[in-house]
Amino acid sequence: MPGKLIFRQLFDAASSTYTYLLGCPSTRQAVIIDTVFEQHLRDRALIEELELKLVAALDTHCHADHVTGAWLMQQATACRIGISKRYGDAMHGADLLLDHGDRIAFGRRHLEVRATPGHTDGCISYLSDDHHMVFTGDCLLIRGAGRCDFQQGHAGTLYRSITQQLFSLPDDCAIFPGHDYAGRTMSSVGEERAHNPRIGGQADERDFVGFMDNLNLPHPKQLAMALPANLRSGQPEDGKVPQLADWGPVRQTYAGLIEIDPEWVSEHLDEVLVLDVRQPEEMDERLGRIKGARSLPLSELKPRLAEIPQDQPVITVCHAGMRSGQATVILRQGGFTRVANMRGGMLIWQQLGLPVERRAGSA
Ligand SMILES: [Fe+2]
């Protein structure tokens, strides 16, 4: 097997959803499974920072509890959108219609599709090429199983999916579910076969169906909103990508900071306030300062927030872009909404050959 799989597990706390990013180390091609609409910027930042090329945004099924981020991911990366073809004409926007036995290649690695209906008709599990990992969506959960009481759910079908498609995998095959509500991150086939309270041990189909038909769960809160959106692969009704800012091409990093490129700043100096948060003496050192930059050291920023005008977006700057990143946090906490950190600070500014000012006589 060529190289160790790149693997990240991500969590959306609002819906307790797990998202998985898988990448081929030799080609950097990647797929993402069950990305969440509201987490799009986080997921995209991680893909960019790991220098991955996304080839597909895959869903394990048409979700009822959150909206997929697949369409947003396609807009951002031109990846394909994959989901089961069993949803038929109701599903729009997907261009990779999958069924049992299909393979999804990303570089020199691939996933195998296993049809695992029961929670919905179109539930599929994605199995890694080495059979070391399976992404089960809402079919098999850790010490649980997906509910079967809406969206064509059927407990008998789910029983057969789990016992025939998942429990036939090697005991040490790791199970990564679509959700967990108790902070558990993974399990294994052998472990669930032994200890799953719904379908493990000696449970037969009648035991499982009896259990599942009496869960008495409340109707999912997000269903009325999530289902129509997911049938559009997560495309908003107005067809527009939500903008992070209306004043400039800002980007969110995986660390959660909002940043902007120095090139853009250099071309828009008269439209923004450049706030240099280095110590004043640093501004006269080798790297110099940006023309018109206002000096306010990070250590004094919080008590002096009122001095900063809010009529223009604020671009924070420092030596390498670290202290200025923290400055954006302080500014946002102080009520500033149009704020971005200049990526890479004065070091990158200088590397790009952008103009600086120096006080006469300074080094
Ligand atoms: Fe679900």
pLDDT of 360 reads: 59
Mind listing the pLDDT tens digit for each residue in 33-50?
Answer: 999 999 999 999 999 999
Mind listing the pLDDT tens digit for each residue in 288-314?
Answer: 999 999 999 999 999 999 999 999 999
pLDDT of 2 reads: 59
Å from CA of 216 to ligand 1 middle: 16
pLDDT of 304 reads: 98
User: Is it the case that residue 20 has pLDDT exceeding 50?
Assistant: yes
Assign 98 to helix, strand or coil: strand
Å from CA of 68 to ligand 1 middle: 11
DSSP character string of 59-70: -SS--SSS-B-H
At residue 363 the predicted structure's pLDDT band, cuts being 50, 70 and 90, is very low
Å from CA of 148 to ligand 1 middle: 9
Amino acid at 13: A
Mind listing the pLDDT tens digit for each residue in 208-261?
Answer: 999 999 988 888 888 889 999 999 999 999 999 999 999 999 999 999 999 999
Å from CA of 146 to ligand 1 middle: 7
Å from CA of 330 to ligand 1 middle: 39
User: Is it the case that residue 89 has pLDDT exceeding 60?
Assistant: yes
Assign 113 to helix, strand or coil: strand
Write phi, then psi, for 208 (nearest 5 degrees): -65, -50
Å from CA of 108 to ligand 1 middle: 30
Whether the CB-CB separation of 93 and 232 falls below 8 Å is answered with yes
Q: For residues 128-146, give the mean pLDDT.
A: 97
Who contacts 87 (Cβ-Cβ below 8 Å, separation ≥6)?
62, 121, 122, 231
Distances (CA, A) of 263 to 149, 245, 295, 315, 343: 54, 17, 21, 13, 10
Q: For residues 276-288, give the mean pLDDT.
A: 92
Å from CA of 37 to ligand 1 middle: 15
